[in-house]
Amino acid sequence: MTATEHPPAYKYVGTRPIRHDGYDKVIGKARFAADLNLPGQLHGAIHRSPHAHAKILSIDTSAAEAMPGVKVVVTGDDFPALDPKNPNFDLAANIIARGVAYYHGHAIAAVAANTKPEAQAAAAAIKVEYELLPAVLSIDESMADGAPLVNETNHTKFVPPGEPSNLSTITNLDRGDVDDALAAADVVIEREFDCAHVHQGYIEPHACVVDTGPDGKTSVWCSSQGHFRVRSMTADVLGWDKSRVKVTPAEIGGGFGGKTTVYLEPLAARLSEKAGKPVKMVMSREEVLRATGPAPEAKMKIKIGATNDGELTAIDGWMAYGVGAFGDMAGLIGAMSVASYKFPNLRMETYTALTNTPKSAAYRAPSAPHAAFAIESVVDEVALELGMDPIELRLKNAAVEGDLTAMGMPHPRVGLVECLEALKASDHYNSEVPEGAARGVAVGFWFNIGEESSATVNLNEDGTATVLTGSPDIGGSRASMALMAAERLGIDVYSITPVVADTEAVGFTDVTEGSRATFATGKAVVQACDMIIDELKKRAASIMSVDVDQVAWVDGAAVSAGHGGGEGGEPLTLAAITAQAKRTGGPLTATASLNAAGAGPSFAVHCADISVDEETGVVSVLRYTAVQDAGTAIHPSYVEGQFQGGSVQGIGWALNEEYIYNADGVMDNASFLDYRIPVASDLPLIETIIVEVPNPAHPYGVRGVGETGIVPPMATIANAINAATGVRMTSLPMSPPKLLSALNKRSK
């Protein structure tokens, strides 16, 4: 279902063609990184730390090196010591430990051997002597006075350098007078929340094949969300020039933010360089869970004040995000994601804390789901206290153009009100809540980003076209690029071949993250199309012997008002012009590169009907609707797919998913059996409503849609559980044992 503000007048944009890369994916021909093999390749394996925090006293690789098939072993000593100011300093230390293991599963050494079993046996035979250091395993321990240091190289960002610290950021955002506003409020609700670590859970483990030749030139084939970043990270960690590294993107088997960084490529490159042979490395699922980035854990305290007529007057928030053993800015980003309501008075005090657990990585709208779980739960409590409909309360306070985010940035044109109205008008919201069930709603926000993109459009002799971009396609973006090019050029979408090109075949392009590909790379594609249309018009003018300013581009053809069309009076089609390219000036090609400004924020509103089995604490999701502003849906099926996929990841986060660590900091549930992501039988259909409030900064109005969908589900379900049982769940996941325990404690 689509709720459109202005009916679009597009021929291709907004249609649902079969995606260009689809056939290969249904016949088993699509090449993912682990499907690639090079002649003579070796197989890599990693020796990982058995301790959550330990000083490495010695590494003995002699037994491993003497084992059958083993060609080379590398340790941290085989990598340059980076300057602490190098932006990839932490990355390098995470890829392979140098002197200290910071978490259970931290890579200590890597082996390349003829076969994978040989490499694994040799990795297990590496002997490491450790001196145990105190492991800090929770946000509370990390922030406690006198806490042991998690990582002696970490210093708090944005403040003058001081002693090493367990805090990566300490930030305060505020406006108005929160204390006065709370004192004057008719209703004040305060709750404390916590969220466990969760993993992105992409089904394809990290994988790469790397070949370093005798000239030092290194070719990488890998699964990533951004091969230009793989290039820069790999080169930095090895101390190489970027020009030494060529990265070719394989198909990517899911990322969700988790493949915006690298783990294997620099190891495989060094192994390949030393062995003189290609090296293939593929993680096991257990390695993915133990050693790649989960989303942060968090603790939050949120206090919201409101007037009796439902104006939210103040928010006072305290949030701490636990990001593992290396610093980032999760706390600050969490505060920045507070942007859904006007809140004239606002204070957000945030911390980013380190613990001796794996370095966290981006996961779909990073940091926003935690904050929204807390804030949307408290907003729900305010609505209950005031006896207001939860949609009405949100409509009364919804941010519109010009309202300030927590950061103090005014919103551009946004579609929160439109999303709330669309849900209010929906079949789901107007249906009776089924007997024995209850309903919850919540809002989500994500900024979206622009950043740098390049695109090249090559027209072929027969009037077909190739569109090259540097944005890995993680959910249908090639189809979107082809649709935008088809719309611009006026040729059939299947006449266009969209290609994700390697780092030497297309201009620099940032990672597919921040819901930016269809927005920013799409903008580059449209710009390149416009450049090539200018050239087509020049060629047409010369063929038609008219001035170029008399030529217009209409429906895939040059028409000249002054000339009445082409040679025979007819419009000169794109194919007719490309057929004469040789004699009118040569091949038709155009490249556009840009740093895209104006990424439009995307709001969502979700609604869930759930039932609770009070004997087991199991929550069943009976009906679920995701409403979100897409700006303009280029390929509506894949826009819906983003809403649905985000919703279900959020449902898993809400109800099941969590890292369970034992007292030694060892993850107890490092498999898909025990880290349980939703399966088909856990879920209903996920209904979608695409709201289209066009983003003025994109030629077709695109807002990124990839991330916002994961923001509302946790509070949506918590609010429904509260409606069903009278129990306010404040700890994620709301798993059966936790809910059962809360139900048992409920005052009768």
Partner 1 sequence: MSLGKEMSLKKMSRTHVNCTINGDEVDFLTTDATSLLDALRDEVGLTGAKEGCGTGDCGACSVLVDGRIQCSCLIFAPEAEGRHITTVEGMADGEHLHPLQQTFLEGAALQCGICTPGFLLAAKALLDENPAPTETEIRYGLAGNLCRCTGYDKIIRAVQEAAVQLKGA
Among the listed ranges 31-39, 395-403, 442-450, 503-511, the one in contact with partner 1 (CB under 8 A) is 31-39
C-alpha–C-alpha distance, residues 486 and 478, integer Å? 12
E strands, 133-267, are: 167-175, 187-195, 198-199, 207-212, 218-222, 245-249
User: Which is closer to partner 1, CB of 307 or CB of 637?
Assistant: 637
Beta strand 731-732 with 438-446: parallel, antiparallel or unpaired? unpaired
Interacting positions 52-91 with partner 1 (CB under 8 A): 68-71
Q: What is the smallest separation between the CB atom of 32 and partner 1, expressed in angstroms?
A: 6
- Alpha-carbon distances of 197 from 140, 356, 505, 620, 657, rounded to whole Å: 15, 13, 38, 23, 8
Burial 531-552 (b: 16+ CB within 10 A, else e): ebbebbbbbbbbbbebeeeebe
Q: Nearest distance from residue 671's CB to partner 1, in Å?
A: 6
Q: Which is nearer to partner 1, 9 or 673 (CB)?
A: 673
485 binds partner 1 (CB under 8 A): no
Nearer to partner 1, 202 or 700 (CB): 202
Strand partners, 44: 112
Residue 589 CA to residue 402 CA, distance in Å, equals 41
Q: Are 465 and 497 in contact (CB under 8 A)?
A: yes
Q: Is 15 in the site for partner 1 (CB under 8 A)?
A: no
Q: Is 18 in the site for partner 1 (CB under 8 A)?
A: yes
| 115 within 8 A of 69, measured Cβ to Cβ | yes
Shortest distance (Å) from residue 289 CB to partner 1: 10
Q: Which residues contact 726 (CB under 8 A, 6 or more apart)?
A: 746
Environment class of 66 (CB within 10 Å of its CB; exposed 0-12, middle 13-18, buried 19+):
exposed
**Tokens, residue 7:** 């009916």
Closer CB to partner 1, residue 211 or residue 251?
251
> Using CB atoms within 10 A of its CB, is residue 395 exposed (0-12), middle (13-18) or buried (19+)?
middle
Write down the least CB distance from residue 715 to partner 1, Å. Answer: 18
Nearer residue to partner 1 within complex by CB, 29 or 748:
29
d(C-alpha 201, C-alpha 576), whole Å: 49
User: Which residues, 435 to 454, sit near partner 1 by CB under 8 A?
Assistant: none
| CB neighbour class for 396 (10 Å; exposed up to 12, middle 13-18, buried from 19) | middle
Piece in contact with partner 1 (CB under 8 A), picked from 142-150, 228-236, 567-575, 676-684: 676-684
Nearest to 221 by CA among 191, 176, 251, 243: 251
Could you write out the DSSP letters of every residue in 46-72? Answer: EEE-SSSSEEEEEEE-HHHHTSTTEEE
- Which span (23-31, 317-325, 401-409, 522-530) binds partner 1, by CB under 8 A? 23-31
Show contacts with partner 1 in window 579-638 (CB under 8 A): 635, 637-638
748's CB contacts (< 8 A; 6+ apart) are: none
Q: Within 251-280, which residues bind partner 1 (CB under 8 A)?
A: 251-256
Q: Is 239 left (phi over 0), alpha (psi -120 to 50) or beta?
A: left
| Six-digit token string for 262 | 């690298």
Q: Is 331 in the site for partner 1 (CB under 8 A)?
A: no
Distance in Å, CB of 673 to partner 1, minimum = 5
Closest approach, Cβ 202 to partner 1, in A, equals 6
CB of 141 to partner 1, least distance (A): 31
Nearer to partner 1, 56 or 511 (CB): 511
Q: Tell whether residue 35 is a contact of partner 1 (CB under 8 A).
A: yes
Between 43 and 231, whose beta carbon lies closer to partner 1?
43
DSSP string, 463-522: S-EEEEES---SSSHHHHHHHHHHHHHTS-GGGEEEEE--TTTS-----S-TT-IIIIIH
Least distance to partner 1, CB of residue 672, Å:
4
Cβ proximity to partner 1, 69 vs 736, nearer residue: 69
CA Rg, the chain, in Å? 27
Counting contacts by CB under 8 A, is residue 27 touching partner 1? Answer: yes
Residue 105 lies near partner 1 (rule: CB under 8 A):
no
Residue 640 CB, nearest approach to partner 1 (Å): 8
Counting contacts by CB under 8 A, is residue 659 touching partner 1? no
Contact of 735 with 675, CB cutoff 8 Å = no
Residues 286-325 that bind partner 1 (CB under 8 A): none
User: Of the candidates 644, 656, 716, 731, which one interacts with partner 1 according to CB under 8 A?
Assistant: 644
- State in Å, rounded, how far the first CA of the chain is from the last one: 43
Count CB-CB contacts under 10 A for residue 174: 15
Nearer to partner 1, 150 or 654 (CB): 654
Indicate the residue among 663 and 680 with the shorter CB distance to partner 1: 680
686 near partner 1, rule: CB under 8 A? yes
The residue (of 23 and 158) whose beta carbon lies closer to partner 1 is 23
Instruction: Take residue 226 and report the two structure tokens written for it.
Output: 């951004």
**Minimum distance between the CB of residue 516 and partner 1, rounded to whole angstroms?**
17
Centroid of chain to Cα 689? 22
Q: Contact with partner 1 (CB under 8 A): which of 83, 435, 679, 745? A: 679
Nearer to partner 1, 30 or 384 (CB): 30
Residue choice 167, 648, 727, 734 for contact with partner 1 (CB under 8 A)? 648
Nearer to partner 1, 411 or 623 (CB): 623
Q: Which is nearer to partner 1, 48 or 71 (CB)?
A: 71
* Whole-number Å distance between alpha carbons of 519 and 458: 21
Answer yes or no: are the C-beta atoms of 677 and 652 closer than 8 Å. Answer: yes
- How many C-beta atoms surround the C-beta of residue 158 within 10 A? 10
Position 508 contacts partner 1 (CB under 8 A): no
Comparing CB distances to partner 1, the nearer of 556 and 733 is: 733
Q: Which stretch binds partner 1 (CB under 8 A): 200-208, 416-424, 564-572, 736-744?
A: 200-208
Indicate whether 748 belongs to the interface with partner 1 (CB under 8 A).
no
* Residue 482 C-beta: closest distance to partner 1, Å: 14
Q: Please state the φ and ψ torsions of residue 94, each to the nearest 5 degrees.
A: -75, -35
Q: Which stretch binds partner 1 (CB under 8 A): 90-98, 202-210, 338-346, 399-407?
A: 202-210
- The yes or no reply on residue 407 touching partner 1 (CB under 8 A) is no
Under rule CB under 8 A, how many of the chain's residues touch partner 1? 64
Contact mark string toward partner 1, 121..150, x via CB under 8 A: ------------------------------
CB proximity list for 133: less than 8 A, separation 6 or greater: 53, 54, 55, 100, 148
Q: Residues with Cβ < 8 Å from 32, sequence gap 6 or more?
A: 204, 207, 223, 250, 251, 252, 253
Whose Cβ is closer to partner 1: residue 261's or residue 477's?
Answer: 477
Side chain identity, residue 12: Y
Among 1, 6, 23, 144, which residue sits at the site for partner 1 (rule: CB under 8 A)? 23
> What's 556's DSSP letter?
T
Binding of partner 1 by 16 (CB under 8 A) = yes
Q: Which among 623, 650, 635, 640 has a CA at the least distance from the CA of 706?
A: 640
Q: Decide: is 657 part of the binding site for partner 1 (CB under 8 A).
A: no
39 binds partner 1 (CB under 8 A): no
Beta strands 198-199 and 294-295 are antiparallel
208 is an interface residue for partner 1 by CB under 8 A: no
Q: Residue 415 Cβ, how far from partner 1 at the closest point, in Å?
A: 22
Provide the minimum distance between the beta carbon of 641 and partner 1 in the complex, in angstroms, as a whole number.
Answer: 6
Binding residues for partner 1 (CB under 8 A): 16, 18-19, 21-23, 25-32, 34-35, 37, 68-71, 114-115, 117, 200-205, 251-256, 282, 284-285, 474-476, 635, 637-638, 640-641, 644-649, 671-673, 677-681, 683, 685-686
